[in-house]
Amino acid sequence: MSEQHRKAGQARAKKLSREDRKAIASSGAQARWAKAQPERDNLPKAIYGAAERPLKIGDLEIPCYVLEDERRVLTVTGMQSAMNMARGGSMVPGLNRYELFISGERISPHVLEDLQQKIRAPIMFCHAYGRSCLRI
So where are the chain's domains?
Answer: 3-41, 46-135
Q: Give burial (CB, 10 Å; 0-12/13-18/19+) of 116.
A: middle
Mean pLDDT, residues 104-110: 90
Instruction: Reply yes or no on whether the pLDDT at 42 is more than 90.
Output: no
To which H or E segment does residue 54 belong? Answer: none
State if pTM tops 0.75.
Answer: no
DSSP for residue 86: P
In whole angstroms, what is the distance from residue 130 CA to residue 136 CA?
17
Task: Please tell me the predicted confidence (pLDDT) of residue 110.
Answer: 93
Residues 46 and 126: beta-carbon distance below 8 Å = yes
Residues 59-102: tens digit of each pLDDT: 999 888 999 999 999 887 788 888 888 776 667 777 778 788 88
* Confidence band for 26, pLDDT divided at 50, 70 and 90: confident
